[in-house]
Structure 1
């Protein structure tokens, strides 16, 4: 495995693991997950040299952190465990975004317990709270760093101006936002803001929630209850138009003799040394395939072919529905 450095000297494997799809019977389902299979996948990832694992209290909720915590027990050394907070809770029901320092502390302490660790390596604000100044939120998170409960701070889906304001309060190691061949909005101003402030970038959904891997060409490929059935880009109106992106990736993949997923991840890695994708996985086979992406080097012709098929802003449909889009770039 190759390694990269995010902001503030945080060294991680060049490919991380997004643990969200490992949720079993939770609030965000991507097909069927099995705890034993997920645990084996995490163990095999560690054996391959992957060090970067991403979860959040939202996933499940709470169960995903518990699963990851149990899987890394006895294997914690050398790993970078990232988790996220955003919501205020009534039991297992999210009742609103809460970026207060008090909520950050509550979430941090709960995550530490569920993960079974003494320190969270990278603690993100999952979504910006428009009612709490980012300076106040980051100030509260910085107190957790001082206390040794957190090593590095991060933001998720923050606007460029918010990123700059946050960095003036405390060093930010990473911004996590959606970024992939079919979602390039961050290139305009958010990625430059990160680079101005020495902040690494962690793309989530780097495979377009599985679409860019090429195995889904109709909604019939998705089980009932799959979250992606509500994704605008997977809709009957938009999916046929987006298939051209898959076909272009497939042509590049055929030239290299690798999978579509490896090409999609290699494309992200080619956008800068400060970029570390976290593809979501459940099974070892998928994880091992993604782990091979850092060994794929795309040519200028490859990059041009992908850019022609998937120009910035050219994907059919927004990446979320109206409610989801209202919570990003704040």
Structure 2
């Protein structure tokens, strides 16, 4: 696996998103999830991404167990500040300094480690000055509890403001063939500042793999609430998945591998490191995903794939 630098933090060119092992995408198996993370490390996928909000702490505990004895191999990323426990569909964001420091200590305990490689502000809290939040994070760096700072789903102006207080290594945003927001929202600022982009949901929450039937999703699957997975929208969006599959078949690879390869290839176009972190909870899928960076896309392939975002039916949320 190739390595890239995110603002001074060297990571694998592809990471593993662990959210689905604990929440959102229906049931998961603890033992299979542990095996998936360990297999990722065997394959050189060492950027492991979690968050306090995933399964209300469950995911951090799981990740901590999976990397036990192999901590030195891992670039461990987690996030703070989002609370889903108040009511279904309602999110409380809290980024005041006291909450940040308490969250860091709780994450360290659940993860079973004494430092976090990349600590993300999960969402900006409009009620707390960004200076206060980043100032508290800078103190965690000084204390050695955190090594690098990240922001999730921010604008270019927010990134610049935060970076003036303390260097930011990475911005995490949803980015895929059918979600291109970071290109206009934050990429320019990231390029100016030398900040990397960590792309979550590079598989379009599974839709781009062509293996997900929205009508068959479990009642607990969070995708049932997303506009692009609604019946009419999903039917229209099938043309996007079909085009990805066509290109994949011409190369003898899978649609998911093409989708991941396209995201990784955007590093050159955007002028910043772009690290996809496809999520999975099965060993077979991590093996397939890890091989995606070997897929070679031609200029014609990329041109065809670039145009797909214009065909999307349904808002992101």
Query: Structure 2 matches for 1:39-50, cutoff 5 A?
Result: 39-50=34-45
The alpha-carbon deviation at position 144 of structure 1 amounts to: 0.0
- The alignment partner of 2:20 has SS state of helix
The 8 Å contact of residues 41 and 73 in structure 2, kept in 1 or not, is answered as no
1:34 to 5, 29, 36: 29
Aligned match of 2:54: 59
Within a 5 Å distance, the mapping from 1:246-265 to structure 2 comes to 246-265=241-260
Report the Cα offset of residue 90 of structure 1: 7.4
Q: Give the 5 Å matches for 1:1-330.
A: 1-7=1-7, 9-23=8-22, 28-87=23-82, 96-216=92-212, 218-272=213-267, 274-311=273-310, 314-320=311-317
Q: Could you tell me whether the CA contact under 8 Å between 1:244 and 1:309 is conserved in 2?
A: no
* Aligned partners of 1:173 and 1:199 also within 8 Å: yes
Mind listing any 5+ residue stretches in structure 1 that lack a counterpart?
A: 321-330
TM-score (structure 1 length as normaliser): 0.91
Q: CA offsets, 1:207-239, max 9 Å, x none? A: 1110011112x4223122111111111001211
Sort the Cα spacing of 1:225 and 1:153 in 2 relative to 1 into closer, same or farther, 3 A: same
2:53 and 2:83 in contact (8 A); partners too: no
1:92 CA drift (Å): 10
- Per-residue CA shift, 1:172-217, capped at 9, x if unaligned? 000001000000011113111111111100011111110011112x
CA contact (8 A) 2:12 2:45 kept: yes
Q: 1:154 to 1:318 in 2, by over 3 A?
A: same
Q: Is the 8 A contact 2:178 2:308 kept in 1?
A: no
Q: Do the aligned partners of residues 90 and 209 (structure 1) sit closer, same or farther apart at CA in structure 2, a change above 3 Å counting?
A: closer
Structure 2: distance between partners of 1:2 and 1:298: 17
Distance 1:11 1:92, change over 3 A: farther
Contact between 2:122 and 2:152, CA under 8 Å: does it hold in 1? yes
Q: Secondary structure of the equivalent of 1:281?
A: coil
Map Cα deviations across residues 54-104 of structure 1 (whole Å, 9 max, x no partner): 000000110000000011111111210000001368799987211111111
**RMSD, aligned CA:** 1.7
Provide the rounded CA distance (Å) in 2 between the counterparts of 1:29 and 1:185. Answer: 22
Contact 2:215 2:231 in 1 (8 A): no
Structure 2: any 5+ residue segments left out of the alignment?
A: none
Aligned residues between the structures? 312
**Aligned partners of 2:19 and 2:203: how far apart in 1?**
14
